[in-house]
Amino acid sequence: MVATAAKQAEQLRLDGNTYFKKDRLGAAIDAYTEAIALCPSVPIYWTNRALCHRKRNEWTRVEEDCRRAIQLDHHSVKAHYMLGLALLQRKEYAEGVKELEKALDLGRGANPKGYMVEEIWQELSRAKYLAWEHESTKRSWELRNLKDTCEAALKEKHFLDNCGDQGAVDGTTQSISEQLKALDRVFQKASEVDTPTEVPDYLCCKITLDIFRDPVIAPSGVTYERAVILDHLQKVGKFDPITRETLYPSQLIPNFALKEAVRAYLEKHGWAYKMD
């Protein structure tokens, strides 16, 4: 009886996959739901249904199915990945980032060169920027309110200190002006961490123009993004794309100094990219 149910559930999964490929999402969901009813302890049935809900932008259902899949299999890359995306939709940025990081770690362990690793990486980068943007906006409002409060308190203090002392008005006015300018400089400095800056050219790959994640240096002295230069050597030819000198993968050496420089830059500017 159990074997029969498992066989039926697996056939329903295959049917659901066929419907999904044809973009018949309703039929696919029905097939996966029937498979779940027969064998609720199989995590892939839950993640497959979650994928259908994702295509429909039904994020609450995506979250529910992914949480169930994770209960059954803590190492499900797809479950952690889609749960992360669902949490981002609810603006739960911190939790969403955690789930995407978990998915990325699991994906790297299972298949480092798989398509999902790059897809997860891109979503994680976007999620971390959204998290930074959300927090920076919150801090900006808090700083603005605090600055207004400080200015009001400073003006009130000077008014009370000099109330009735008409002879000190000119000196007081000058003192208030100077202190308000000093206060403005303090808050301007405090807000710099939330001001996006352009990444210096030397921290970017010369091929993609994107910031380095895993820089490697060639014998020519030129540094490239590892995945990009390896792809070039495999598909284009065994030569340095800039100097045109002969180049083999074994000649590439990790550029730890530049990698550390990138990490330091990103941390300083509040960008929480995860280095390889």
- Domain ranges for the chain: 2-112, 135-194, 201-268
d(CA 32, CA 12): 6
Q: Give the pLDDT score at 2.
A: 62
CATH topology of domain 2-112: 1.25.40
Burial class (CB in 10 A: 0-12, 13-18, 19+), 49: buried
Predicted TM-score (pTM) of this structure: 0.58
Edge-to-edge strand order for the sheet containing 215-217?
A: 223-225, 215-217, 253-254
Query: Which backbone phi and psi does 215 adopt, to 5 degrees?
Result: -75, 140
Q: Which top CATH class is 201-268?
A: alpha beta
Per-residue tokens: 52 = 């259908």
| Tens-binned pLDDT, residue by residue, of the chain (276 aa) | 667 999 999 999 999 999 999 999 999 999 999 999 999 999 999 999 999 999 999 999 999 999 999 999 999 999 999 999 999 999 999 899 999 989 988 988 766 556 577 788 778 877 877 777 777 777 777 778 888 888 888 788 777 766 655 545 555 555 778 877 887 888 777 666 555 556 677 888 877 777 888 889 999 888 998 988 998 899 888 999 888 899 999 999 998 888 888 877 776 665 444 444
